[in-house]
Amino acid sequence: MEKNTIQKKKHQRFGKIDFGNQYEALKTKKTVVVIGYNDKYIIVHDPTDKDNVKILKEDFFKQWENAYKQAITLNN
């Protein structure tokens, strides 16, 4: 009887994950509230740290994209 074999491709895909590539993952998950911004920084309230935390825009958006662009907005 002949055995069936499964050959793994170099780049297997599972959902949105491509196992042939390396991804940078978030080290921590955190919820913050954006309270302001300017040309260089996003200013957030971080309940686990302190208020008025300045994060470079590039760093903020990189982390936001790594978190699958999750956000919640509230309108009164």
For the segment 8-57, what is each residue's pLDDT rounded down to a tens digit? 444 444 445 555 665 555 555 678 889 999 999 999 988 887 788 999 99
Domain region containing 58: 29-69
The contacts of residue 21 (CB under 8 Å, 6+ apart) are 11
pTM greater than 0.85: no
Residue 44, in any domain of the structure: yes
Cβ-proximal residues to 8 (8 Å cutoff; 6+ apart), any chain = none
Please give the pLDDT value at position 12. Answer: 47
Number of domains in the chain: 1
Residues 25, 30, 36, CA angle at the centre, nearest 5°? Answer: 110
In a domain, 42, yes or no: yes
- Please indicate, yes or no, if residue 75 is contained in any of the structural domains: no
